[in-house]
């Protein structure tokens, strides 16, 4: 019997375990696996708490439907019936500018205007700023195909105001306090580069995508895909009546539904939680995984599904070159604060799904989602409102490190200033995430290519997760499935070689 050890029980590791379990069984392979997780709790950054009828997502609160990984996993673990669309009656995103909330103009796809009238009518961008954005239609595409920062790309195509008021706050919300001056557009938004190269203009590319796409993105910060979304007319299996899809989706019981369903599907006897892997060592047949306070575990293949920093530590002795590259991947710290108030205590109309905060506003928060308005079932009833506040940014690092009381006080101060809320919250939970969000800075893809090349010298060792080619939950699931498939191929080949 061959054995694969998975290190890390976040969504990547759980997806890898699930794939190994199902595919080994389906293919009749004699492959066993063990999953090691440092914490007692499984799920990693996916953490849903249910308190007094509130559903709080302390980590990710949704996924982007464009990435099919979540649908695939949901289907495999039987939780598709719990998929949840955003509440479209509240659709809309606002931006804090000059201390006031302005709606992102309708038809804005990520940062690119695709509808003229709402864009012209919006007070968010000044007239010179609007004219500068329109220059995208005539500016020639960049010839150099090397990496470029998000800041350089957006300023070059759409101008500084589009970066400061739209792109930077939107992207910070997704990538966690990312600095556009350092962020690699090639690694984070390869589609933008493709759009520029193929259409010569982002606006023209978006208009073409809208025309060819039967499904419109449901949020102004979304952007369309030419491929029909799963369940859309024309998609495989579309003859079956499927639930409606929105650009961002979640589960009725929060993102934790996915973890719970995966755990219910997995053989729990193969999961060891509360076990920290400390070091990997090469053996004649594969690897030995050293664990804190226990005997080493031998494996024919290893999938490391831990964050990059932990992975660097694990492979430091075995592969110092890979460890050095891993250590270059930067991690940002943020905090998610969930606060609920009586509706009557909020003097603000709370339009849309919430608002984002550009760095130029010099606030302590990066954005607020009106969770119980955006998603049904997040608060016990409509007499209270659950807000999710995202705290972060390089400027606020000390605040994030200062502890829960300081973070909550800062959040309440900002909510007072922006939404006029002075009342005590009926519920408040603070979740700091220190060095938790992988940053794809300039040169990221070269770094990942070097890591992958380095791995070719370590047959049977696979790295998976959000550090490499996509930070979203859907990317992580795909990465877990892929690593498991590679591990299966590796042990199958080793078994054949052994038999021969």
If binding is defined by CB under 6 A, does position 393 make contact with ligand FAD?
no
Stretch that binds ligand FAD, among 30-38, 376-384, 397-405, 482-490 (CB under 6 A): 30-38
Round to whole Å and give the CA distance between 452 and 430: 37
- Minimum distance from residue 169 beta carbon to ligand FAD (Å): 15
Round to whole Å and give the CA distance between 329 and 312: 10
If binding is defined by CB under 6 A, does position 396 make contact with ligand FAD?
no
If binding is defined by CB under 6 A, does position 170 make contact with ligand FAD?
no
If binding is defined by CB under 6 A, does position 472 make contact with ligand FAD?
yes
* Secondary structure element (H or E) that encloses residue 151, with its range: helix 150-158
Considering only residues 36, 133, 205, 430, which one is a binding residue for ligand FAD as defined by CB under 6 A? Answer: 36
Stretch that binds ligand FAD, among 161-169, 201-209, 369-377, 464-472 (CB under 6 A): 464-472
Q: 293-299: which pairs have CB atoms within 8 A and are 24 or more residues apart? A: 297/5, 297/34, 297/36, 298/3, 299/3, 299/4, 299/5, 299/34, 299/460
Considering only residues 3, 5, 6, 8, which one is a binding residue for ligand FAD as defined by CB under 6 A? Answer: 8
If binding is defined by CB under 6 A, does position 37 make contact with ligand FAD?
yes
Stretch that binds ligand FAD, among 37-45, 381-389, 407-415, 489-497 (CB under 6 A): 37-45
Q: In the structure encoding, which two tokens stand for residue 241, read together?
A: 């009546």
- Minimum distance from residue 436 beta carbon to ligand FAD (Å): 4
Stretch that binds ligand FAD, among 114-122, 148-156, 453-461, 467-475 (CB under 6 A): 467-475
What does 290-346 look like in DSSP terms, one character per residue?
EETTS--EEESEEEE-S-HHHHHHHHTTT-HHHHHHHHTSEEEEEEEEEEEEEGGG-
Stretch that binds ligand FAD, among 57-65, 73-81, 152-160, 181-189 (CB under 6 A): 57-65
User: Bridge partners of 282?
Assistant: 287
- Minimum distance from residue 4 beta carbon to ligand FAD (Å): 15
If binding is defined by CB under 6 A, does position 69 make contact with ligand FAD?
no
If binding is defined by CB under 6 A, does position 257 make contact with ligand FAD?
no
Round to whole Å and give the CA distance between 110 and 324: 34
Q: In the structure encoding, which two tokens stand for residue 197, read together?
A: 């190269």
If binding is defined by CB under 6 A, does position 9 make contact with ligand FAD?
yes
Which CB, 13 or 107, lies closer to ligand FAD?
13
In the shown chain, the binding pattern of residues 405 to 424 toward ligand FAD, with x for contact by CB under 6 A and - for none, equals: --------------------
- Minimum distance from residue 256 beta carbon to ligand FAD (Å): 11
Stretch that binds ligand FAD, among 8-16, 202-210, 295-303, 374-382 (CB under 6 A): 8-16
Round to whole Å and give the CA distance between 498 and 441: 43
Using CB under 6 A as the binding criterion, the count of chain residues that bind ligand FAD stands at: 37
Stretch that binds ligand FAD, among 55-63, 140-148, 194-202, 344-352 (CB under 6 A): 55-63
Q: Using CA of residue 265, residue 268, residue 270, residue 271, what is the dihedral sign?
A: positive
Round to whole Å and give the CA distance between 33 and 299: 9
Which CB, 430 or 437, lies closer to ligand FAD?
437
Q: 113-119: which pairs have CB atoms within 8 A and are 24 or more residues apart? A: 113/203, 114/203, 114/206, 114/207, 114/210
If binding is defined by CB under 6 A, does position 465 make contact with ligand FAD?
yes
- Minimum distance from residue 203 beta carbon to ligand FAD (Å): 27
Residues recorded for the chain:
500
Which CB, 125 or 467, lies closer to ligand FAD?
467
Give me Rg for the CA atoms of the chain.
Answer: 23
- Minimum distance from residue 445 beta carbon to ligand FAD (Å): 17
Considering only residues 363, 466, 484, 490, which one is a binding residue for ligand FAD as defined by CB under 6 A? Answer: 466
In the shown chain, the binding pattern of residues 273 to 312 toward ligand FAD, with x for contact by CB under 6 A and - for none, equals: ---xx---------------------------xxx--x--
Round to whole Å and give the CA distance between 245 and 219: 12
Which CB, 132 or 374, lies closer to ligand FAD?
374
Which CB, 114 or 188, lies closer to ligand FAD?
188
Torsion of Cα atoms, 347 then 351 then 354 then 356, to 10° = -90
Contacts of residue 54, Cβ cutoff 8 Å, sequence gap at least 6: 338, 340, 372, 378, 379, 380, 386, 427
- Minimum distance from residue 241 beta carbon to ligand FAD (Å): 27
Do β-strands 301-304 and 461-463 pair in parallel, antiparallel, or remain unpaired? parallel
Let me know: does 32 contact 1? Beta carbons within 8 Å.
yes
* Secondary structure element (H or E) that encloses residue 101, with its range: strand 100-103
If binding is defined by CB under 6 A, does position 61 make contact with ligand FAD?
yes
Round to whole Å and give the CA distance between 80 and 326: 35
Summarize as ranges the residues that interact with ligand FAD (CB under 6 A): 7-13, 36-39, 44-46, 59-63, 276-277, 305-307, 310, 314, 334, 336, 433, 436-437, 465-466, 471-473, 476
């Amino acid at each position: 019997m061959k054995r694969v050890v998975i290190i890390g029980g976040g969504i990547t590791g759980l997806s890898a375990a699930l794939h190994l379990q199902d595919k080994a069984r389906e293919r009749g392979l004699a492959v066993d696996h063990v999953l090691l997780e440092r914490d007692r709790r499984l799920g990693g950054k996916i953490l849903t708490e249910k308190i007094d009828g509130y559903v709080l997502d302390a980590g990710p609160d949704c996924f982007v439907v464009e990435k099919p990984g979540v649908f695939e996993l949901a289907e495999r673990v039987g939780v598709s019936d719990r998929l949840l669309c955003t509440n479209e009656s509240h659709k809309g995103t606002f931006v804090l500018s000059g201390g006031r909330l302005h709606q992102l103009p309708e038809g804005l796809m990520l940062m690119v205007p695709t509808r003229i009238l709402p864009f012209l009518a919006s007070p968010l961008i000044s007239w010179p700023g609007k004219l500068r954005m329109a220059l995208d239609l005539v500016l020639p595409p960049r010839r150099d195909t090397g990496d470029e920062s998000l800041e350089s790309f957006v300023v070059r195509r759409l101008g500084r105001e589009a970066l400061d008021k739209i792109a930077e706050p939107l992207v910070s919300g997704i990538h966690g306090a990312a600095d556009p001056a350092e962020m690699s557009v090639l690694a984070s938004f390869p589609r933008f580069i493709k759009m520029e190269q193929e259409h010569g203009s982002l606006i023209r590319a978006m208009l073409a995508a809208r025309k060819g796409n039967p499904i419109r993105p449901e949020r102004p910060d979304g952007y369309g895909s030419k491929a029909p979304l799963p369940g859309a007319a024309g998609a495989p299996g579309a003859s079956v009546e499927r639930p409606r899809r929105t650009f961002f989706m979640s589960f009725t019981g929060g993102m934790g539904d996915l973890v719970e369903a995966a755990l219910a599907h997995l053989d729990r006897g193969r999961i060891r939680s509360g076990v920290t892997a400390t070091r990997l060592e090469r053996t004649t047949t594969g690897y030995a995984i050293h664990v804190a306070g226990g005997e080493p575990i031998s494996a024919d293949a290893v999938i490391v599904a831990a964050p990059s920093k932990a992975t660097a530590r694990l492979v430091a002795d075995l592969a110092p070159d890979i460890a050095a590259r891993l250590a270059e991947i930067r991690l940002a710290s943020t905090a998610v604060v969930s606060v609920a108030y009586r509706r009557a205590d909020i003097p603000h109309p709370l339009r849309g799904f919430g608002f984002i905060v550009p760095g130029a506003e010099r606030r302590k928060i990066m954005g607020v989602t009106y969770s119980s308005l955006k998603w049904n079932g997040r608060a016990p009833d409509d007499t209270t409102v659950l807000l999710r506040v995202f705290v972060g940014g390089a400027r606020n690092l000390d605040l994030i490190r200062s502890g829960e009381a300081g973070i909550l006080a800062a959040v309440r101060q900002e909510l007072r200033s922006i939404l006029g809320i002075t009342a005590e919250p009926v519920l408040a939970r603070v979740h700091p995430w220190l060095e938790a969000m992988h940053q794809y800075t300039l040169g990221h893809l070269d770094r990942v290519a070097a890591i992958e090349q380095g791995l070719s010298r370590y047959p049977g060792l696979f790295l998976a997760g959000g550090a490499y080619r996509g930070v979203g939950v859907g990317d992580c699931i795909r990465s877990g499935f892929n690593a498991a498939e590679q591990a299966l191929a590796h042990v199958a080949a080793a078994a054949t070689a052994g038999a021969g």
